[in-house]
Structures are given as structure tokens and as C-alpha cells.
A and B are shown apart, each in its own frame.
Chain A
Amino acid sequence: MNARNSKKWLLAALGAALVISYFSAQFNRYYLGVAIDVGINIILAVSLNLINGHTGQFSLGHAGFMAVGGFTAAKFTLLTAPAFFPLSLLIGGLMAALAGLLVGVPSLRLRGDYLAIVTLGFGEIIRVIFQNSQAFGAATGLTGIPDLTTLFWTFGTAAITVYVVTSLVNSTYGRGFICVRDDEVAAAAIGISPTRYKVTAFVVGAFFAGVAGALYAHHKTVMQPDGFNFIRSIDIVVMVILGGMGRTTGVIIAAVVLTVLPEFLREFASYRMILYSLLIIGLMLARPEGLFTIRKRTNAGA
């Protein structure tokens, strides 16, 4: 995406979302549902790509952020029945961002596998907290959430997510995320604070995961803590890896493919995870830089 025209792209995408959603009543309900799932997964994958791909901080906590956003937004809607749906989305996003800050700050001392384990632990803790808190319906979760998520809100948010992530990264300021990923010591030596960039990535990434969670809650109309286990996080990580770490376009395509594919494979649904595992193994062997990455010619034939 051309950085200079990115604002126009954003407006165009929002316009397209509006036009399509105008006709959404005529769509088959099933396809409409899948389309919204696609949009939600795009938001999740693109926002996780900021943390895992661009900033290189391996996080397995995205389902946790999604749960925080989903549950708070759903509870907010149920309690206050807001006139304006985005208010719920915003509250979900902000709560998740706060969670992102809470995880981000202590996690800064950790790298690689250790960080992955901590974020994984965080996701599980979130799930268990919701499972045990009566206010959020304990193990049954929240039900009867109004069905407010439309194509427009989903793809509008997706467009904003893509805009925010690409704008952040494609700027002189944003080179800092990639510097931190490539070499933290060198980044610090030229005045880039790895701490600040990592926290920013976590907060922004968590915010959009929270919004995605809120959209999800108002789409499925039920929120069950079980749906946000670490397999959900892995699903999103797979989208990022399959799309190519740090490649927004690839990640969007991967999100679409991996959302639609299981729908085609419904009859083999129980083999889905096997398929996933095989896919990742095959991918890592064949294209370690991601499926949709255009191979860059670098030295040593790499």
C-alpha cells in the first residue's frame, strides 16, 4: 500500500464496507456470518502481526485480549443498552488495551520463548478468571447479547486496523518497531527505546484484539470463556505465520483463507487441527518466510 495514499485507501475501504452492508439483508445468513468471521479474523491477525511480526515479540495471548474486549463490551451492552454500538466496541478495545499494558510491561524483561510462555499463561488466566466470575456468567458465559455486529462495523474496523498498523510501521517513527525486532541492542544504541516500542505494540495490538472480541460477542450473541483458550491464540498466530511475519497483505489473505477453508472442510471438522499442524510443518519446511511473502533476493542465496 502506498503510504502517501493510505488515507484515501482507508476512506475507500470504509465506503465499500458501507455499500456492501447496505445490501447485507439480501445475503444468505450463513454467508453473512462467514463474512463477518473473516472480518474479525482480519482484525485479529493484522493486530497480532504488529506484535509478532513487526516488533518480533512472540505473543500467544491474543485470545486473552479478545476475551477481555468481548466480555467487557458484551457486559456493557447488556447493562446499559447503548444507543450507539461503537461505544461498546470502544470500551472493549480500551479494556483490552489496558490488559495489553499490564502484560506488556512485565513481559519486557523476557524474550522469545519465555515471552511466549508468559503471554500464554496470561491468556489462560484471563479465561479462568472469566470462567469463575459470576458477573460474567461463570462457565456458561454471557448469553442473549444483542446481535449488533454488522458487515459495516466489522469491515470498517478491519479497514481502520489495517490503516493504523500500516501507517504506524510505514513511517520513520515506525521503523523503530522493525529495529527492535532485528536487534534490540543496536536499536537502543541509536536512541530507540525497545521498551517503549514493545509496550506500544502490545497496547495497540491488544486494543484491536479487544474490538475484535467485542464484534465477535455481538455477532455470536453468546460469550463462553472456553472459546478463548490457547488454541484460539494459535489460530491467529498461524494466520500471521502463514501470511508472512510483518507482511500486512499476506496476513490479510491468510486470515481470509484460514477462515473460509474450515467452512469447506466442515465434514472433516474434527481433523482441522491435524490439517493445521501439517500445514504449519509443511510451510516451515517449504517457505519459512511465509506463504505470501515475495521472496527477497538477499545474500548467500537465502
Chain B
Amino acid sequence: MSVSLLLDSITLRFGGLTAVSALNLSVSGEDLLGLIGPNGAGKTTVFNLITGVYTPTEGTITFNGRPTTRFKAPQLARLGIARTFQNIRLFGSLSVFDNVRAAVQLHRSHGIRDALSRGKSFHESEKVVADQVMEMLELFRLARLRDEPATSLPYGEQRRLEIVRALATQPKLLLLDEPAAGMNPTEKVELMKLIQFVKDKYKIAVLLVEHDMQVVMGICQRIAVLDHGIKIAEGTPTEVRADPKVIDAYLGHEHS
């Protein structure tokens, strides 16, 4: 099934400050769209708008043809939008296993009554969840760390776990907020492979906010450039790289 996210002239104001201004953006199918721009350009704000953390002042957001402008984060997760965070947000007091387990819960129907009755169906259902979690942990080479506290993992693995947790909600659209931040060159290459792997394996759309040009230019099919909350360019990596407005605002001139 093809997925589509549409932002139609989205504006967000905080008092006198216009954080995002008349932004149009679309992600569909198995796109890998990169969103770049200087610090404070409003990239993370766009993420927060899409995932229901903020509600836009003007404009509409539609996901698979459904207006989702006023939806809150849990509803959007249910519809199939998952995200990671710029500053990793794992559940610190839970193990690696439980971090993913909490996310698997989303598309399962059992709740309080099952948990209290502890019947046969409860144990079966818990087993299905556990299998599902372990399968994902093995796929992403985290299985050996299953009982470790999530925040005790090395940085790169915390990033990976956060992506796994997002994938455990069975999303159709995955938003990655600066996944390469703080990574060394080897980890960045690993990350690019990981994103490509996720896309191929799960056939989902990915929206990537990133500062690292090597990563963005390396894997994105399309790139949108934000500056002061305004989209100043959109196109293929080659087009964007050659765009004078982008060079002015973000990439900078080469001094020779």
C-alpha cells in the first residue's frame, strides 16, 4: 500500500515568531526525503507538527488522504507515523527488550482485563509479543543486549534501538530527527546502511532531518531545504547542491 503525507501551506506561529511559514511538503510511497537547513530553520518544528506535538496555526496536514492536523501523537502513531528524536529518548528505566515491547503493544488489543485475569490468552499473547520483539532485536543485532538497561548502551546502539522501537509500531512513515548527530565517520556509514536496510526491508517512506551532508547527499532521493521556516528549494541532491539560494543560506561558497 502506498502511503502519502501532505503538508499544505502549513504555518506555525509562536506569538510574534513565525517558526514555519506556508510550507508545502509531500512524502509518499517509498520516498526517502531529506530535510536540511541551518540551525533554527524549523526542521525539528516540522517534525513536531507532523507528529502532533504542535498544532499548526494555519494549513492542513493529511496522511493517506485523512486530515490529521489536530491529531495528537498517539493517534498518529496508530495511523502509522513513527519517529525518533534529536536527543535520544529511550525509556531509561526499562531494558532494551522492554523498550521495544512497549512499542509492539500499539497494534495489540489486550489491555487491563487481560493483564489482570492472567488467563491462557494473556500468556499466549505475551509470548507472541516476546517473539516479535526478539525477532526485531535479532534483525538489528541487539538481541545479546536484551536485558541491559536501554540507556547503558553505547551511543550508536541507542540510536539503533530508538529506530527499532519506532519500527516496532509498524509505521508506514518513519521520521528520523538528526540520526547522525554526534556520530563518528564509521558510525555514519553504518547508519546510512541501516536506513537503506530499513527502507528495503519494510518498504516504508522515510523523512530524514540531518545536518551531515555526507549522509543526506548519500542516501536521499529528494531533498527539501528550509531557511527561517521557509522552503527555499526542493529537488534531487545534485539540483539542491547547485541551487544558489541553498548555497547562500546553508552550504556556503567555496573560497578559492
The distance in angstroms between the C-alpha atoms of A137 and B146, with both chains bound, is 58
Are A171 and B91 in contact, with the CB atoms below 8 A?
A: no
Residues on the A chain within 8 Å of B89, using CB: 183, 185-186, 189
Main secondary structure of the interface of B (DSSP, over half): helix
Given A190-B77, A190-B106, A299-B152: A179 touches B116 (CB 8 Å cut-off):
no
In the assembled complex, A253 has its CB within 8 A of some CB on chain B? no
The distance in angstroms between the C-alpha atoms of A75 and B116, with both chains bound, is 31
Given A172-B108, A191-B77, A191-B103: A186 touches B90 (CB 8 Å cut-off):
yes
Nearest-CB distance from A192 to chain B (Å)? 6
Are A175 and B77 in contact, with the CB atoms below 8 A?
A: no
Within 8 A of A (CB), among B122-168: 122-123, 125-126, 129, 149, 151-152, 165-166, 168
Given A175-B94, A182-B91: A192 touches B149 (CB 8 Å cut-off):
no
In the assembled complex, A266 has its CB within 8 A of some CB on chain B? no
In the assembled complex, B58 has its CB within 8 A of some CB on chain A? no
Within 8 A of B (CB), among A178-219: 178-179, 181-183, 185-193, 200
In the assembled complex, B51 has its CB within 8 A of some CB on chain A? yes
In the assembled complex, A174 has its CB within 8 A of some CB on chain B? yes
Are A164 and B77 in contact, with the CB atoms below 8 A?
A: no
Are B105 and A176 in contact, with the CB atoms below 8 A?
A: yes
A188's partner among B77, B123, B166 (CB-CB below 8 A) is B77
A179's partner among B52, B91, B115, B122 (CB-CB below 8 A) is B91
B interface size (C-beta, 8 A): 44
Are B77 and A186 in contact, with the CB atoms below 8 A?
A: no
Within 8 A of B (CB), among A139-190: 164, 167-168, 171-176, 178-179, 181-183, 185-190
Residues on the B chain within 8 Å of A192, using CB: 74, 102, 105-106
Residue in A closest to B175 when the chains form the complex, CB atoms: A189
In the assembled complex, B73 has its CB within 8 A of some CB on chain A? yes
Residue in B closest to A164 when the chains form the complex, CB atoms: B116
Given A186-B85, A189-B82, A191-B77: A171 touches B93 (CB 8 Å cut-off):
no
Residue in B closest to A194 when the chains form the complex, CB atoms: B74
A sample of 7 cross-chain residue pairs with beta-carbon separation below 8 angstroms, ordered by A number, consists of A3-B118, A167-B115, A168-B116, A172-B105, A175-B94, A188-B73, A299-B149
In the A-B complex, the 3 residue pairs with the smallest Cβ-Cβ separation, listed nearest first, are A191-B77, A188-B73, A191-B106
